[in-house]
Every structure is written in structure tokens, then in C-alpha cells.
Amino acid sequence: MSGNAVDEQMVLSGVSVAGTNEFGEKDDRLHNVNLTIAPGEWLYLVGVNGSGKTTMARLLAGLYEENLMGTVNRGFAGESASPIVLQQPKAQLFGESPREEVRFALEWRELAPGSVKARTAEALEMTGLTELADLPWEKLSGGQLQLAAIAASAASRTPLIVFDEVTSMLDDANRKIVLETAEHIHRSGSAVVWVTQRLDELKPDFRVAALAGGRIIFDGNVRKFLYGETGHDSLCQSSGLRVPYLATLAMQLRQLNQLQDPLPVTAEEWRKVMGHFAGADSTARYT
Amino acid sequence: MQERIAQRDTPEPFGAELCVDGIVWYRGEEGKESRRSSGLRLRPGTVTLLMGANGAGKTTLLEKLAGLRPPEKLKITYGNEPLWVERRVGKPKLSAMAMRSYSYACQSPEEGLFSRSVADELDYSLRPFHLPAAVTQQYKNTALSSVGWDDAWLKRDPYLMSGGERRRAALAALFAAPAAWVLLDEPTAGLDGTGHDRVAQHLTKLKSENTGILLVSHDSDWALPLSDQVMLLHPDGSLRLCSSEQLLAHPEWLEETGMQVPEWLRIAHALYRNGVAATQLWKPAEAAQAIAANRGAAAPVGRETRQLEVIGGAARKHVTEKEGSSLVRRFDPRAIWLAYMLLSAGMFAQTTWIGIAAGSVVTVSLLVTGRISLHRWRGMIQSYVIFAMMVSGFLAIGRGGGSGYFNMESFLGTLFSFSRTMLVLLLGIAMAIAMTPLSLRRSLVQLLSFKGRMPAFAQKLVLTVTLMIRFVPVLLREWERFSRIFLARGKQVSRTPAASARRLRDVSLPFLLSLFRLGDEVVVALESRGVGMRAAPIHAESLQWRLRDSILTAGSLVLTAALWWFGKYINAT
């Protein structure tokens, strides 16, 4: 590991992580992975359980060192570990309230004593927790607990932050808020790795890397990943993940020549094409 | 189904309704004015999807229906069999027969597995049903095929499997039980596409065999097309029962529960209003066909629409668990530490039973005035008392000398030390409950540092102590969770010592494994945030010693002195 320039890319080349399977046979958790992340980039990392995405997420956060082969140059992310937000709030909240949590996280970073208070307030503001900052965990919802963990992770303004399936136990409303908060952190300059199994979280024209069996099977544009190209099967099916309702519908409509590429992904794009099927009158109510 | 009924030799109400009284509910088309609190009936052979916002209490409701929590106001009946049987003395008791009416899978059910082979897990699920061996074999085969497995998997060890395979083993164990109802909490979270399809297929099969299914799932685009009806759980605990088609027509009902209408449902709703039938909309391929056929046709009128409102979610507050806040938190943690040390010394100074009694009075009154509830710890406290009695009894046997087989003096002597320790222990638990771990950490750091510096070993010690105390409630909740899984699967309603021993055995293994997983995640979370990176953390805020802290310390000093004097006085007389 060398190089520490803020504008240098993070590069994984020929990385394998050895592991063993049920029968004691050699079974790599990651196999010959090549991946590059640019400073300030947003990367979706998708794959089913056991595809190696958790190993990958920890590796990108700078935590995984055992049984590692190949080279990892963390570039802009620096030598020290990057914060990682996990699925279960219970494993990653150490304080008793959002404010205490953020303060605990900041105490371990090299900051001037005076700036901790201001930084704490800032992180709480960014996650929308200012008003709830002093409530105990029992009074917060699952989504708010995740926001507190995000606030604690984002408070130290690291160049990279990893979200490992943080929305898997959240309802749609909480999921949206958590996603928007991550996007806010991204806009403020941090690179974001968003690990998920739920393909309906993916936004088009972003980059997605799909893992299956420890290998990267796709690295490219989300729309291409979801829908493939005309005449070709969707690539997301080969990742083993469940294809969401709307993506299936879009591909079926394409097959019946009712829709042409580029197929819709976002709500706005769907609203536009819905005009064809449902008439302008009905779509107007949704905008 | 016919075959299934013929082979059953137990009288469980198969094909029975699930009746819930005591919950406020109304039907989809009705207004809130029609709310009633009795007569909610779920029919066998239907799939009901329970939806609600995070924290609305979906899991709690499911656990109540499974008898895993006190029912509070609910009266739950499977067929004609009430889940809780009133007794002349004591609390209501779970009905073993009603417990056999359902098979239940909690969130991440694979974490509750404890056997060393798939066959043992299936046997364990089938045991409460007391079936002949031949029938058992048939159920096992059906269960395996429901997750796409064959006999070869029976010998496999769940602990050596991958996460996805463990989930399949847990689902097979769930589907093995020949129960009239299947209750599922997020069965597909973390499953791949094929896994989703498999569960859907098996649920459809169970439905056709007249099994009732109640389902909680965040994957609404997977679950809603499977379901016949939906129960919408509001934050106030009331339910709206509607058909899946009604929800398609009225997605705004979801918003009334504090949820958001998922994007796919908005699109499906628009298509529905434009003439695509619900049955077609549930299957994207058929929906696409219908759209192609309808294209260009004028939109039918007459279907009522309502404006969807956007509800901001961040401001929503959920009170999931009420725990009274303790008065003790207002004091400086150092004062509490000092008070605890002093009082413990006072307790240990006692040498007579009257002194112990005085100590108990002090402890109880401190708990009451500090508003500290030890309710959740009652299990541990009970175990301690039983342990103390047993050890004291054991040590007293055969020590009789000349006065018989059992030496009372020796028994009381041992019990005395246990009692004294118990008082100190109770105060310790009270302190752990009453203080926030981080404030405890700050107080320890300030107590242990010299001229603003603290040796590295002391720092590690302090962090360890803090984390241990922080995770005590989490561990308690995990234990409770696995106890509930044990009850739901084993359906063991008796409380004999043998049953307790079985519970201890079958709960501890999954509990310990969950501790390892939790520990791993804690390390990842801490390390990734840079904890332990530097030698000494900066302290954002120093503690403030106020007048009330001095009063607390002085008060406990007086109490300790009083206890000490009392002990002396009793000895002298």
C-alpha cells in the first residue's frame, strides 16, 4: 500500500481473499478482483448473500488484511480505515443518544477540542436529527437509528464512506430518507460505496459493480446492468438477485415493442412513458 | 389436503379460522367511524399481508398471535381453541393445542438453528405434533422439496453452510410442521431471486391446501401479488383490513399508516385506473400484454381516485419500547461510583441476618426512590437465588458432625455470604441500568487519568468495561429473542425443571453464535470509525461536579456509616 494523494484513484488489482467452504476445500471469497474508485465517486455494489460483497465492502473500507493476495492502493481514501455503516443498528451504536454517538466518534479523531461541538451539530443537522439529538434509542425508529449511525460515521468527513446494506430492514419512507442522506454526504465531496441487494434502489447513469461467486461479473452503467441492450438478456438476472416489478414490466413492454431503449428506471422516467399507456390525464395526478 | 387430514391423529383445528378480538379494526371501504374491537377473522386458505411503518409493531403483533408475548388486550383463538387458557389461580397459561396450530418464522430464522444436521432440525419442528414415523417422513420430504432440496441434504450440518443455505434449512424446518397457520416475518429478506420464487411457490401450494398464511414483508412488489388481503397497521395500533385489489385502488391508505407508497404501486395503480385488471397487474408479463392490448383505448371512467399526499418521514417519532428514565442519570457519574463503592463496603461490613435485613431495606428504598426497575433482570436474579440455595444446601449435607445429616448452621452460613453479595450485586445492576455507558466511561477516564494522561492499558480497560455495559441490554434482548424462537418451534408450554434444562441447552448455542456475529460487527464498526487509532481521545466535554453530587456522596457516606454502626450495635447486644 503506497500513495496517499487526495486526487489519486483507489485501485484494487488482482485481489483475491482466500477462504474455505463447508467441506474444508479452498473457496475464495474474492477471486482476482480488479476495481478502481475515483475520488468523490458513487459506486453501487450488488450481489446475493455469499457473493463476496461483505468481504469487498470491508476491503474497500480498509479493514480486511487476512489471506489477501494482490495489491490494494487506497489512494484518495488514505491509509486509515474509512467508516462503514452496517445493517444492524444494535451493533454500531455505542452512545445513548444521537448526540452522544457523534461525539464519541469524533473524540477518536484528531480534532481541536473546541471543534467537536460544532462538528457534532453539523453532522446531526445533515442527517436531520437535530431535534431528536438527545432522545434515547428507544424513542427513535429503525430509520432514525440508522441515521444516527450515519451521522457518527460521516462526522469525521472522511474521503470515503461505505454503506453495507443499511436499508435492508427499513420501510420505504425510512429507506428514502437514508438514501437521500447518503446522497447529501456524496454531494459534500465523499466517495460513497453503497452495498445493496435491492435493485430498486439503483439510479440510472450511476456506476454499479455486480459480484457473483467472488467475481465481478459487471462493472458499468446501472441502466445497462438492469436492462442489458436490445435483444440481450438483463445482466442483473445473472447476478442471481431478484428483478424488481418495474424492471420486469419494462423489459416485458420492450419485448412487446411497447417501449424502446432507454427503458425507464426512475419515477420521473416512468411518469414520462406512462403518458403513452395511461393518458396525460392520469399521470398528471402523480406529479 | 384430503390425504393430510386423513393422516392426522391429533385434533388440531386444521382449516380453522384465526380469530382476534380486542384489536381495533375496520374494513377497507369503511371509514374510521366503523371501528370495532371484536370479530377480526382470518380465513384458512388465504394469504394475508401485514403492512405498517417501521416501529408500528408488526413483529410485536405477530409474536402476540404466536403466544410469544403476553397478549395484553388481545383474545386470540385458533379455530375453537383459545391461545391463552384462563386458570383459577395464577396467570393464564398457553394452550399446547393452540400452539400446534401455527408454524412461525421470525426475522432471520436461520439464527435460531441449533442442531448439527438438517434431519435433526426437521425432527425438532415435527416433534410437538406426535405423528407416526411414516407420516413424519412424508412431511420431511415435502419440506425439503419446498426449498429445492433432496434427501442428500438431511445429513448436512447447518453450522457449516453458507448464510443462504442456512436460511433454506430454517424455512424447510418451518414448512415441515403440519400446522393450520404459517406466520412469517420477513421470510425473503436477504434471499436471492430464486429464493423469492421458491417461497412464493410454496406459499401458493400451502394456500391451495387450505393453510392460512400471515406474512410481514418489506418486499411489497413480491408480497402483494401473492396476497389475498392486506392488514394495514396504523401507529395507534388499529388495523384496516382490505383486499389486495382495494389497496391497488387506494394506495393512499398506505400513507394513512405513515408509510410511503412504493413507486411500483403508483405505476400499477395508474394502470389499474386505466382498465388493466388487478389479476393481470400482479404478473408483470400479463400486465405488459394487457397494456399492449389496451393501448390507444380511452381510459375508463368511474374509478374513484384520491390525491396522494406526501408525508415527511424524518419527523415521525415511534415509541417502540417504554422504559422509564431514572432519576439517577441527573448525577455526576463519579458521584454514583463513589456512592456505590461506599454502600458496597457498608453491605460487606454486615455480619448478622438483621444487618442483611437492614441492607435490604436500604437497597429496596434506593431502587424505589431512584425509580430503577429491575423487572427485566428477574430471570437472572431468580437463577442467582436458586443457585445460592442449592450451593448452600449441598455444602451443608453430610457436615452434620453429631447433630444429624443436614447442618443448618453451615447452610445459613453459606447463604449469608450469598445474600450479602446479592445486595451488592443488585446495587451494581441498578448502577449499570441507571448510568449511560459513555458517561460511565468519561467518569472512569477522569478518575484514572493523572495530569491529563492515562496509560494505554487503562484506556483499553475502560473501553472494554464501557462496551460490556453498553451491550448488556442488547445481550438480554438477544436471549429473549432466542427464547421466543424456542417456544415457537418447540411449543414447550410446561415449566418443569426438565423443560427448563432443555430450553437452556437449545437457546444457548444460537445465543452464543449470535454473540460472535455481534462481536464481529462491533469490531468492524469501531475500527472503521477509527476507535483505537490514537492513544488518548480528546474529551469534548468535561464532567461537572455539582452540589447535588456532593449531597449524593455525603448521603451514601451517612448511610454506610449507619449500616456499619447498626452492624456493630447488633453484634454487641
> Can you give the three-state secondary structure of A6-64, one letter per residue?
CCCCEEEEEEEECCECCCCCECCCEEEEEEEECCCCEEEEECCCCCCHHHHHHHHCCCC
- pLDDT of B323: 42
Digit-coded pLDDT (tens) for B123-176: 999 999 999 988 899 999 999 999 999 999 999 998 888 888 899 999 999 999
Q: Which residues of A touch B158 (CB under 8 A)?
A: none
Q: Is B538 on the interface with A (CB under 8 A)?
A: yes
pLDDT, tens digit (0-9, with 9 covering 90-100), for A232-251? 667 777 888 999 999 999 99
Residue finishing a domain among B154, B178, B202: B178
Cell of B337: 461510583
Q: B residues 175-204 near A, CB within 8 Å?
A: 186, 189-194, 196
pLDDT at B330: 72
Chain B: closest CA distance from residue A226 (Å): 14
Please tell me whether residue B335 adopts helix, strand or coil conformation. Answer: helix
Catalytic one of A165, A201, A229, A268: A165
Q: Where is average pLDDT lowest: A71-80, A144-153, B13-22, B118-127?
A: B13-22
| Residue B137 forms contact with A (CB below 8 Å) | no
Residues of B in contact with A49 (CB under 8 A): 162-164, 190-192
- Asked if residue B150 is part of any domain, the answer here is yes
Measured at the alpha carbon of residue B140, what is the angle toward residues B195 and B19, in degrees to the nearest 5?
75
CA–CA distance, B306 with A237 (Å, rounded to integer): 36
ipTM of the complex, rounded to two decimals: 0.88
Of the pLDDT bands very low, low, confident and very high (cuts 50, 70, 90), residue B274 is: confident
Residue B324 forms contact with A (CB below 8 Å): no
Residue-wise pLDDT for B532-567, tens only, equals 655 455 454 556 677 778 888 888 888 888 888 887
Q: pLDDT digit string (tens) for B506-537?
A: 888 888 888 888 888 888 888 888 776 554 55
At B26 the pLDDT is 94
Determine contact: A276 vs chain B, CB below 8 A.
Answer: yes
> Could you tell me what percent of chain B has a pLDDT over 70?
85
Same domain membership, residue B127 and residue B13:
no
Using the Cβ of B318 and the Cβ atoms of chain A, whether some distance falls under 8 Å is answered with yes
Query: Given a cut of 50, is residue A60 above it in pLDDT?
Result: yes
- pLDDT value at residue B340: 82
Hey, which residues 451-480 in chain B have their CB within 8 Å of chain A? 466-467, 470, 474, 477
B contacts of A285 (beta carbons < 8 Å)? 305, 307-308
Whether residue A286 is predicted with pLDDT greater than 90 in this model: the reply is no
Q: Do A95 and B521 touch (CB under 8 A)?
A: no
B544 and B451 both lie in a single domain: yes
Residue B3: which residues within 8 A CB-CB, separation 6 or more?
A: none
Q: Are residues B203 and B81 in the same domain?
A: yes
* pLDDT above 70 (res A72): yes
pLDDT band at B304 (very low <50, low <70, confident <90, very high): very low
Q: Is A165 a catalytic residue?
A: yes
Q: Closest Cα to residue A38, out of A196, A215, A190? A: A190
Residue A141 has its nearest CB partner, among B55, B525, B537, at B55
- 8 Å CB contact of A81 and B527: yes
**Contact: B263, A246; criterion CB under 8 Å:** yes
Answer yes or no: are the C-beta atoms of A258 and A241 closer than 8 Å.
no
Q: Are residues B220 and B231 in the same domain?
A: yes
Shared domain for B226 and B93, answered yes or no, is: yes
| Rounded Cα–Cα distance for residues A195 and A166 (Å) | 8
**Distance, CA of A113 to CA of B461 (rounded, Å):** 23
| Chain B residues near residue A95 by CB distance under 8 angstroms | 436-438
Percentage of chain A beyond pLDDT 90 is 42
Stretch 261-300 of chain B: residues touching chain A, C-beta under 8 Å: 261-264, 266-268, 270-271, 273-274, 284-285, 287-289, 291-292, 294-295, 298-299
8 A C-beta contact, residue B28 and residue B243? yes
> How many domains is chain B partitioned into structurally?
3
Q: How confident is the model at residue B301 (pLDDT cuts 50, 70, 90)?
A: very low
Look at A162 and B262 and tell me if their CB atoms are within 8 Å. no
Position B318 in a domain? no
Q: Summarize the confidence of residues B384-411 as an average pLDDT.
A: 75
Q: Average the pLDDT over each of A162-176, B154-168, B427-441 and give the range with the smallest value.
A: B427-441
CA dihedral for A94, A96, A99, A104, sign (positive or negative)? negative
pLDDT in tens, A187-234: 999 999 999 999 999 999 899 999 998 999 999 999 999 998 655 667
**Which pLDDT belongs to residue B521?**
85
State the pLDDT confidence band at B402, using cuts at 50, 70 and 90: low
Q: How far apart are CA B94 and CA B101, in angstroms?
A: 12
B377 has a pLDDT exceeding 90? no
- Mean pLDDT for B316-322 is 38
Q: Which of A243-257, B26-40, B315-329 has the lowest mean pLDDT?
A: B315-329
Label residue B1 by pLDDT band (50, 70, 90).
Answer: very low
CB contact under 8 A, B53 and A152: no
Q: By percentage, how much of chain B surpasses pLDDT 90?
A: 34
Average pLDDT over every residue of B263-286: 92
Per-chain mean pLDDT for chain B: 81
Same domain, B162 and B219: no
Average pLDDT of span B367-392: 78
d(CA A36, CA B280): 44
Residues A195 and A57: beta-carbon distance below 8 Å = yes
What's residue B204's pLDDT? 95
Mean pLDDT over B45-62 rounds to 92
Of the candidates B521, B334, B347, B497, the residue with the CA atom closest to the CA atom of residue B420 = B347
Q: Name the β-bridge partners of B239.
A: B25, B233
Cβ contact B314–A277 (<8 Å): no
Domain range summary for chain A, segments of one domain joined by +: 93-157
CATH of the domain at B191: 3.40.50.300
> Are both B235 and B195 inside the same structural domain?
yes
Query: pTM score, two decimals?
Result: 0.79
C-alpha cell at B252: 393512499
Q: Is residue B382 part of a domain?
A: no
What grid cell was written down for A284?
Answer: 398528471
pLDDT higher than threshold 50 for residue B229: yes
Q: Return the number of CB contacts < 8 Å for A and B.
A: 250
* Last residue of one domain, picked from the residues B178, B207, B228: B178
pLDDT of residue A277: 65
**pLDDT recorded at residue A232:** 62
- Point out the domain boundary residue: B210, B244, B278: B244
CB A223 within 8 A of CB A263: yes
> H/E element holding B135?
helix B133-146
pLDDT at B2 over 60: no
Q: Does A79 touch chain B (CB under 8 A)?
A: no
B228 and B88 fall within a common domain: yes
Choice between B280 and B443, residue whose per-residue pLDDT is larger:
B280
The per-residue pLDDT for B145 is 92
Q: Is residue B163 part of a domain?
A: yes
pLDDT at B428 over 50: yes
Q: Which of A249, A254, A271, A276 to mutate to test the interface with B (most CBs of B within 10 A)?
A: A249
Range of the domain at B124: 111-178
User: Would you mind telling me the total number of residues written for chain B in this entry?
Assistant: 573
Q: Is residue B395 part of a domain?
A: no
- Give the Cα separation of B268 and B283 in Å (integer): 11
Q: Among A204-208, B82-86, B161-165, B232-236, where is mean pLDDT lowest? A: B161-165
Residue B450: predicted pLDDT? 67
Of A232 and A124, which is predicted with more confidence?
A124
Phi, psi of B47 (to 5 degrees): -110, 125
A 229-268 residues inside an 8 A Cβ radius of B: 237, 240-246, 248-249, 252-253, 255-258, 267
Residue B504 shares a structural domain with residue B473? yes
In a domain, B396, yes or no: no
CA distance B364 to chain A (A): 26
